[in-house]
Amino acid sequence: MKAAQKGQAYAEYLVGAVLVIGALFAPVFGGESAIGLLMAAFQANQESYIWAMSVPG
């Protein structure tokens, strides 16, 4: 019985990972994906940091 259940966790993890990755790349919020919005937020944060570091102070 233990041998049959040994690969069950791997299969559940794989299905969960595929669902999460699919949800991140699915078009939502007016055609924009969640991963695209996250990347845009990181880029805006980086640009703000670079601007703040370039201002003499």
pTM greater than 0.75: no
Q: What confidence tier does 38 reach under pLDDT thresholds 50, 70, 90? A: very high
Residue among 33, 37, 3, 5 nearest 21 (CA):
33
Arithmetic mean of pLDDT, 8-22: 93
Structure tokens at 55: 């201002």
Residue type, 54: S
Distance CA 50, CA 45 (A): 9
Q: What confidence tier does 29 reach under pLDDT thresholds 50, 70, 90? A: confident
For residue 8, the model assigns a pLDDT of 84
Distance CA 37, CA 4 (A): 42
Domain spans of the chain? Answer: 20-57
Whether 27 and 33 have beta carbons less than 8 Å apart is answered as yes
Residue type, 57: G
